[in-house]
Amino acid sequence: MIHLKNLEKKYVDDGETTNALRDVSFEIKKGEFVAIMGPSGSGKSTLLHILSFLDRPTNGEYVFNGKSISELTDKEMAHIRNKEMGFVFQSFNLLSRLSVFENVSMPLMYSLDITIAKRKHLVEKAVASVGLTEKLYAEAGKLSGGQKQRVAIARALVNDPDVIFADEPTGNLDSKSGAQVMEILHDLHEDGHTIILVTHETYTSEFANRLIHIKDGLVESDEPIKKTRKARSEFFK
């Protein structure tokens, strides 16, 4: 599903070149739950941005679902983000003046093939899957942090994407709300969704079944995790 080969990302700032990613190569198969970890400034966010088509690599090859990023226009990338990807951000990124319904339906607004009637059905289904049906028409700004992140997950799910990118999804939450969010992501994975999680919290990363460590723009380690249940039980203590 995801194929990276010799990926590089360089930034030039005031004539000084920073290598944010260096020679990154790996593959992610459909249905995996991958955690990307690394210290601050390691390049994990840059990697997530490239994986989620928000940015382009300087060098190297990135093929997503058979489509190479180097051959896509910005408009085609926007279309793939809309149809095949879902996003969960650390700071929720909800439009607080809008209702839960309006926030969740946002990705569908940019899909012309989904009718308005179908849109309503999909939004209700997504909101129900995160257990917030009773808040469907509540103003997003008035929800608690945990509820906001659940709305953000519903928004990421609503277009039934192939992969969900979660950037520090529990970073702004208390441990109880964080646990709920991780539980939902775990269930989504169980349902067959591919999830790519960027985190710096070890216990969160242990929900994943594969851990990629990044340091100074390089993949330091890439190995499977086989203690998910233990990690989860510890998390909920």
Partner 1 sequence: MRTQDSIKIALSSVQHAKTRSFLTMLGIVIGISSVILLMSIGNSAQALIVNQVKGVGSNLIFVIPGGSKSGRFSAPASSQGVIIKTLVKDDISTLERNAAITGVEPEVRGQAKIVYGNNDTTVTFLGVRGNFFNIRSYNVDRGRPFTNSDVESYEHVVVLGSETAKTLFGNYDPVGKSVRLKDISFRVVGILEKKGVGAFGIDQDNLAVVPLTVGQKQLLGIDYYNAITVQASDAYTPEFVKARVTSIVRESHRITDPNKDDFTVRTQEDILSLLGNITSILTLFLTSIAFISLVVGGIGIMNIMLVAVIERTREIGLRKAVGATNSDILQQFLWESVILTFFGGLIGIFFGALFTVVLYFILVYFVQIDWVFALPMSAIWLSVGVSTFTGILFGIYPSREAAKKNPIEALRYE
* Contact residue for partner 1 among 9, 81, 150, 189 (CB under 8 A): 81
The window from 26-34, 91-99, 123-131, 139-147 that contacts partner 1 (CB under 8 A) reads 91-99
**Binds partner 1 by CB under 8 A, chosen from 29, 30, 68, 109:** 109
By CB under 8 A, the count of residues binding partner 1 is 25
Alpha-carbon span 183 to 160, nearest angstrom: 18
Contact call for residues 222 and 208 (beta carbons, < 8 A): no
Q: Which CB atom, from 79 or from 125, has the smaller least distance to partner 1?
A: 79
How many C-beta neighbours within 10 Å does residue 134 have? 9
Least CB distance to partner 1 at residue 175 (A): 26
| Cα separation, 61 vs 175, whole angstroms | 38
Query: Contacting partner 1 (CB under 8 A), which of 1, 89, 139, 228?
Result: 89
From candidates 150, 155, 193, 213, binder to partner 1 by CB under 8 A: 155
Q: Supply φ then ψ for residue 15, to 5 degrees.
A: 80, -5
Q: Is 1 in the site for partner 1 (CB under 8 A)?
A: no
75 near partner 1, judged by CB under 8 A: yes
| Binding flag, residue 79, partner 1 (CB under 8 A) | yes
Instruction: Indicate the residue type of 89.
Output: F
Of 111, 172, 209, 228, the residue at the interface with partner 1 (CB under 8 A) is 111
**Three-state SS for 21?**
strand
Question: In a 10 Å sphere around its CB, with 0-12 CB exposed, 13-18 middle and 19+ buried, how is residue 15 labelled?
Answer: exposed
Q: What is the DSSP string of 129-187?
A: HTT-GGGTTSBGGGS-HHHHHHHHHHHHHTT--SEEEEESTTTTS-HHHHHHHHHHHHH
Q: Which stretch binds partner 1 (CB under 8 A): 23-31, 90-98, 180-188, 203-211?
A: 90-98
d(CA 180, CA 211): 21
Under the binding rule (CB under 8 A), the answer on residue 67 touching partner 1 is: no
Binds partner 1 (CB under 8 A): choice among 72, 78, 136, 225 = 78
Stretch that binds partner 1, among 36-44, 106-114, 192-200, 213-221 (CB under 8 A): 106-114
Whether residue 88 contacts residue 156, with contact meaning beta carbons closer than 8 Å, is answered with yes
Q: List residues near partner 1 by CB under 8 A.
A: 49, 52, 54-55, 74-75, 78-79, 81-83, 87, 89, 93, 95, 97-98, 106-107, 109-112, 155, 159
